[in-house]
Amino acid sequence: MLSYNINKHRSGLLQALLLLFVALSFSACKDDDVDQKVKDDAQIQQYFKANNIDTATVVKTNSGLYYQLLREGTGERIYPGDRVSVDYLGTLLNGTKFDSSYDEGKEPIELTVGVTKVVLGWQEGLQLMRVGEKARLFIPSHLGYGTRRDVPAIPPNSPLVFEVEVLEIL
C-alpha cells in the first residue's frame, strides 16, 4: 500500500514536471516567433531606407505584411475563392531573384485565392488588389517560408519581396 502511494505521488510529480516543461517550451517558441518578427520588420525597414522607398507609400497590415501600390488597377477587387492569373517577380531583400513568371519559358501563375498553397503573404496581399493592379509585397518570414529549409533558393527566416500584377480573374 505504501509503495502504491509513493508511485502514485511520483507519477503525479512527473506529470506536473512534464506539463511545466511543455509549457516552457511553447513560451520559448512564442518568444522566438516574436523576436523573429521584430528582426524581419527591422530588416524590411532597413530595405526601405537603403532603396529610398518612401514609407508614406507603403501600408503595413496587422499581420506584418507591407503593401506598396505601384500601379492602380481598374478591374474587379480580388476576394477569397477567386481564381486569378498573376505575373510576379520574387527576390530576397539583398536583391537576389529566386523566382519569376517573367523568365523565358514561364507563364503567369494561376491560383485560387485562399485555397491554392502559396505563401500567406500572397494570400493576404492579393486580397488587397484588383485586376490590372501592380504592387510590391514585403513579406516577413512568418508569412513566407518561415524556418523551412526545403526551399533551396530561400534561406530560413528570410523576408521576401514580390512584385505582383493581377492579370485577370479566370
CATH number at residue 57: 3.10.50.40
Q: Say what the pTM is.
A: 0.78
Domain presence at residue 11: no
**Residue 80, C-beta contacts closer than 8 angstroms, at least 6 positions apart:** 113, 114, 115, 127
Instruction: Give the chain's domain count.
Output: 1
Full pLDDT tens readout for the chain, 170 residues: 555 555 555 555 445 444 444 444 444 445 567 799 999 999 999 999 999 999 999 999 999 999 999 999 999 999 999 999 999 999 999 999 999 999 999 999 999 999 888 999 999 999 999 999 999 999 999 999 999 888 888 999 999 999 999 999 99
Sign of CA dihedral 15, 20, 25, 27: positive
Residue 130: give the domain boundaries: 36-169
The pLDDT of residue 89 is 97
